[in-house]
Structure 1
């Protein structure tokens, strides 16, 4: 038995109002696992993130490797988890580490714009490196990767959108 993951979400903002209200109401987790090597090393950021968790849901901030270990540790089998990473690379590392997202796929809430990126939705910025990571999640791990800000929004197939926008994924 392993930890139950109810939502695996990439959101460069990590835990914020939309996640704390809409998504927790929708997936009903008892635990929010924020998975970020940088946030796990930043005590102030960890404190701020854990304070945003809605009532009745505990939040933890852990490194990618610690999340992989926890997923396979029977002590955490009671977790009904909303899992958040701030980038596609960390989610890919979790999949490579053996975390099974096949039943739920990967939800992308936002990828923050940086230099030399292109906005492909109003909340998702893309470059060739990230496009290739998404392609790996789809092709190698057979995952559905969709953009969706809140549960009421229509899901957008990200690999299809990336290909339509002309990103080099091969």
Structure 2
């Protein structure tokens, strides 16, 4: 069975925080980025690969191919990263079993409203988070592992 140790929404994908704190916290040894734009951008993929510590695998898939690739992995401890909660909803709908979804970094941009501290979402993202919860998958806000996780139910998504 596929071992997913972290499913995290972070619009920065790979950055120092993910590389250090979350890998240590989860014991993950294989990062899977699910993002259509990144999967088609060879330059960005090279940059992402350079940011990954030695000994950690990296794969970057588009949303369509990701479910099969994730479910086929029976050996690694996967850290799945996506820029939006919609990606995780699509994975769930494609029969990827997630242990939960952590909302980490969703910065301010046009159309997004502040929902909690430095977490911003637009209407579609809020709907996706609610739909993930409706599928029985726990959603929490947690920027860093040392921070106490906050159930998304305690965040104002209206």
TM (norm. structure 1) is 0.88
- Deviation track 1:101-121 (CA, whole Å, cap 9, x = no partner) reads 1xx210011112222321122
The aligned counterpart of 2:153 is 159
The aligned counterpart of 1:119 is 114
Aligned residues: 158
Q: Please give the root-mean-square deviation of Cα atoms over the aligned residues, in Å.
A: 1.3
Aligned counterparts of 2:130 and 2:86: Cα–Cα separation in 1 = 12
- Structure 2's unaligned 5+ residue stretches are none
The aligned counterpart of 1:48 is 47
* Residues 1:27 and 2:26 are matched in the alignment: yes
The aligned counterpart of 2:129 is 134
Does the 8 A contact of 1:135 with 1:159 survive in 2?
no
- Deviation track 1:110-147 (CA, whole Å, cap 9, x = no partner) reads 112222321122321022221111110001x1111111
Superposition pairs of residues 137-148 of structure 1, within 5 angstroms: 137-139=132-134, 141-148=135-142
The aligned counterpart of 2:105 is 110
The aligned counterpart of 2:88 is 91
Aligned counterparts of 1:40 and 1:144: Cα–Cα separation in 2 = 27
